[in-house]
Amino acid sequence: MELISKTIDLVKEKLDGAEAGHDWFHIERVWKLSLKIQEKEGGDKLIIELAALLHDIADPKFHNGDETLASKIVNDFLTEQNLDPDIREKVIFIIENMSFKNRNDAPENLPLELKIVQDADRLDAIGAIGIARTFNFGGYKNNLIYHPDISPKLNQTKEEYKKSNGTTINHFYEKLLLLKDLLNTDTAKRIAEPRHQFMLQFLEEFYNEWNVNL
């Protein structure tokens, strides 16, 4: 479909040179996973595809905290494409309300399309790929891998979470291990189970190696 391929071109252009955990391939994985979940759970396919493709087009953490830029880019683009305003608004609503750090401010009774794209984004944050992305982001931020005396901070406010320069291992406790229980759909919960177990196994091995007595 013409609109989807134009959207892909826009996303690739905007994410050229992005941090490797939030690059085009992250978007492609989330897009494909969203479609897999949609096959089982239903929902409007066009809204899901557009929201998945556009959801990280201007992540505030890579744009000096600007929380309005993404909506503006998406609004301009979809208006230019003459997309039905109702669909456009639904896509923008998803992009504005699906983020982990905004989860406490999100409205209730979220639409199925949001739940599906959010689940796909969260699935890409866990398992082997989640581990790889998290260490890449930690390296990008020059954060420590691990520090035995710095413990995870649970229940951080959005501001604390954004500012956090804790260790990458702590990010598992502050976010990654929580995601399994925050998923919306049964399909995503099934996909998450082995990914979650793999992270637990990774952490166990990590501590075994750190504490090795030679």
Enumerate residues 6+ apart whose C-beta is below 8 A from 123.
33, 183, 188, 191, 192, 195
Interaction of residue 121 with Ni ion, rule CB under 5 A:
yes
The piece of 32-40, 97-105, 121-129, 179-187 that touches Ni ion (CB under 5 A) is 121-129
Q: For Ni ion, what does the binding mask look like between residues 135 and 174, x meaning CB under 5 A?
A: ----------------------------------------
Rounded-to-integer distance, Cα 203 and Cα 6, Å: 41
Pick out residues in 26-65 that bind Ni ion (CB under 5 A): 56
The piece of 30-38, 42-50, 82-90, 130-138 that touches ligand ADP (CB under 6 A) is 130-138
For residue 48, give the H/E element and its range: helix 45-54
Rounded-to-integer distance, Cα 77 and Cα 152, Å: 40
- The count of chain residues that interact with Ni ion, using the rule CB under 5 A, is 2
Interaction of residue 133 with ligand ADP, rule CB under 6 A:
yes
Rounded-to-integer distance, Cα 207 and Cα 181, Å: 24
Interaction of residue 99 with ligand ADP, rule CB under 6 A:
yes
| Nearest CB to Ni ion, comparing residues 119 and 121 | 121
What are the distances in angstroms from CA 95 to CA 18, 42, 118, 202, 208?
Answer: 18, 19, 9, 31, 40
Contact footprint for ligand ADP (CB under 6 A): 21, 61, 99-101, 125, 133-134, 137-138, 143, 164, 168, 171, 175
